[in-house]
């Protein structure tokens, strides 16, 4: 499958969702951006995302 067809399949199934909270490496984060301080000196992240119900 070429890249354009694969992109269209992904795009058609994509659903935008609001994040209610996000936990990165066991600590709750404000907003929906993972700060660079959290990733510094880490090779692996554990991320849990909680979404808002519509």
Which candidate, 41, 31, 15, 7, places its Cα nearest to that of 49? 31
Residues 6+ apart with CB under 8 A from 30: none
pTM of the model: 0.61
State the chain's mean pLDDT as an integer: 85
Cα–Cα distance for residue pair 48/54, rounded to 1 Å: 19
Q: Residue 49: enclosing H or E segment and its boundaries?
A: strand 47-51
- Share above pLDDT 70 across residues of the chain, in percent, rounded to a whole number: 96
Question: What integer pLDDT is reported at residue 1 of this predicted model?
Answer: 52
pLDDT digits (tens, 9 = 90+) for 8-33: 887 777 778 888 999 999 989 888 88
Q: Is the pLDDT of residue 35 over 80?
A: yes
């Amino acid at each position: 499958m070429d890249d354009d067809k694969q992109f269209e399949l992904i795009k058609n199934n994509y659903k935008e969702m609001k994040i209610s909270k996000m936990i990165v490496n066991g600590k709750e984060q404000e907003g929906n951006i993972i700060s660079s301080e959290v990733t510094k000196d880490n090779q692996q992240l554990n991320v849990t995302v909680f979404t808002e119900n519509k």
